[in-house]
Chains A and B, each alone.
Chain A
Amino acid sequence: MGSAQALPVNVEGAETPVMHKAVGKRAISSLLSLFGLVILVFFLSRLTGDPAALFLPVDASEAMRQNFRELHGLNDPVHIQFVHYLGDLVRGDFGDSLRKARPALDVVLEAFVWTLQLAVITMTLVTVAAIVVGSITAFRVGSAFDRFASMLSLVGASAPDFWIAIVAIVLFSVNLGWVPTSGTGTVWHWVLPISVLFIRPFGLILQVVRGSMLSALGSAYVKTARAKGVKNRPIIFVHTLRNAMLPVITVIGDQAAALLNGAVVVETIFGFPGVGKLMIDSILQRDFNVILAAIMVTALAIFLMNLLIDLAYALLDPRIRT
Chain B
Amino acid sequence: MSDITAPAPAAPNPAPPAKSSILRMLWADKFATVAVVFLGLVLLCAIFGPLLLGDAAGGQNLRARNAPPFSLERGWLYILGGDALGRPLLPRIVVAAQNTIAIAAGAVAASFVIGAALGLIAGYSRRIWSEVIMRLADVIMSFPSLLLAVIVLYVLAPSVLNLVLVLAITRIPIYLRTTRAEVLEVRERMFVQAAQVLGASTFRIVFRHILPVILPTLLTIATLDFAFVMLAESALSFLGIGIQPPEITWGLMVSQGRQYLTSAWWLAFWPGLAIILTTMSLNLLSSWMRIALDPTQRWRLELGGRVNG
| A→B interface (CB under 8 Å) | 29-30, 33-34, 36-37, 41, 44-45, 47-48, 142, 147, 154-155, 157-163, 166-167, 169-170, 174, 261, 264-265, 268, 279-280, 283-284, 295, 298
Contact of B276 among A30, A142, A163, A264 (CB under 8 A): A163
Complex formed: what's the CA distance from A34 to B142 in Å? Answer: 8
User: Does the CB pair B138–A29 fall under 8 Å?
Assistant: yes
Q: Is B268 within 8 A of A163, CB to CB?
A: yes
Kindly list chain A residues whose C-beta atoms are within 8 Å of the C-beta of B268: 163, 166-167
Most chain A CB within 10 A, of B147, B227, B239, B275, is at B147
Q: Answer yes or no: B235 CB below 8 A from chain A CBs.
A: yes
A170-B262, A261-B147 given as contacts; is B238 within 8 A of A158 (CB)? no
Interface residues of B (CB under 8 A from A): 138-139, 142-144, 146-147, 150-152, 154-155, 227, 231, 234-235, 238-239, 251, 254-255, 258, 261-262, 265, 268-269, 272, 275-276, 279-280, 282-284, 309
Which residue of chain A has the shortest Cβ distance to B265 in the bound complex? A170
CB closest residue in chain A, given B254: A163
In the bound complex, residues from chain B placing their C-beta under 8 Å from that of A154 are 280, 283-284
**Separation of A33 and B239 alpha carbons in the complex (Å):** 27
Q: List 29 A-B contacts (CB under 8 A).
A: A30-B142, A33-B138, A37-B143, A44-B151, A47-B155, A48-B154, A147-B309, A158-B279, A158-B283, A159-B275, A160-B231, A160-B235, A160-B276, A163-B275, A166-B268, A169-B261, A170-B261, A174-B261, A174-B262, A261-B144, A261-B146, A261-B147, A264-B147, A265-B235, A265-B238, A279-B147, A283-B147, A295-B144, A298-B144
Q: What residues of B have a CB within 8 angstroms of the CB of A160 in the complex?
A: 231, 234-235, 238, 251, 254, 272, 275-276, 279
Asked whether A33 lies within 8 Å of B235 as measured between CB atoms, the reply is no
What's the Cα separation between A33 and B142 when bound, in Å?
7
The smallest beta-carbon distance between A244 and chain B, in angstroms, is 20
Q: How far is the CA of A44 from the CA of B152 in the complex (A)?
A: 7
A44 and B272 contact, CB distance less than 8 A: no
Least CB distance from B38 to A in Å reads 12
Complex Cα gap A128–B161 (Å): 42
Chain A min CB distance to B234 (Å):
5
Query: CA A162 – CA B275 in complex, angstroms?
Result: 11
Chain A residues with Cβ below 8 Å from B146 are: 261, 264
Partner of A155 from the list B139, B152, B261, B280 (CB cut-off 8 Å) is B280
Residues of A within 8 A of B235 (CB): 160-162, 264-265
Q: Which of A36, A47, A268 contacts B239, CB < 8 Å?
A: A268
Cβ of B150: which chain A residues have Cβ within 8 Å of it? 279-280, 283
Q: A321 to chain B: closest CB distance in Å?
A: 25
CB-CB under 8 A from B227, the residues of chain A are 157-158
Q: How far is the CA of A265 from the CA of B309 in the complex (A)?
A: 34
In the complex, what's the smallest C-beta–C-beta distance from A294 to chain B, in angstroms? 9
**Shortest distance in angstroms between A307's beta carbon and chain B's nearest beta carbon?**
15
Chain B's closest residue to A45 (CB) is B151
Q: Chain B residues near A45 (CB, 8 Å)?
A: 151
Contact call B151/A265, Cβ cutoff below 8 A: no
* A171, chain B: closest CB distance, angstroms: 9
CB distance from B69 to the nearest CB of A (A): 14
- Complex CA–CA separation, A265 to B241 (angstroms): 12
Which residues of chain B come closer than 8 Å to A279, judged between CB atoms? 147, 150
User: In whole Å, how far is B271's beta carbon from the nearest beta carbon of chain A?
Assistant: 8
Inter-chain CA distance A41–B154, complex, in Å, is 12
Contact across chains for A265 and B239 when beta carbons are under 8 A apart: yes
Contacts of A30 in B (CB 8 A): 142
* Also in contact, A166 and B254, with CB within 8 A (given A29-B138, A158-B283): yes
Given the interface pairs A142-B309, A154-B280, A167-B272, the reply to whether A162 lies near B238 with Cβ below 8 Å is yes
Check B261–A166 contact: CB distance below 8 A.
yes
Give the chain A neighbours of B254 by CB distance below 8 A. 160, 162-163, 166
With a cutoff of 8 Å between Cβ atoms, the chain B residues found around residue A166 in the complex are 254, 258, 261, 268, 272
Q: Which residues of B contact A284 (CB under 8 A)?
A: 154
A51 to chain B, nearest CB (A): 14
Please name all residues of chain B whose beta carbon is closer than 8 Å to the beta carbon of A283 when the two chains form the complex. 147, 150-151, 154
* Bound Cα distance from A142 to B308, whole angstroms: 9
A279→B145 CA distance, assembly (Å): 13
| With contact pairs A33-B142, A166-B254 given, residues A158 and B276 touching in the complex (Cβ less than 8 Å) | yes
- The answer for the CA separation of A268 and B255 in the assembled complex, in Å, is 12
Interfacial chain B residues near A298, Cβ < 8 Å = 144
Contact B238 A48 (CB under 8 A): no
Q: How far is the CB of A183 from chain B (nearest CB, A)?
A: 16
Which residues of chain A are within 8 angstroms of B272 by Cβ–Cβ distance?
160, 163, 166-167
Q: A30-B142, A44-B155, A48-B155 are in contact. Are A264 and B239 (CB under 8 A)?
A: yes
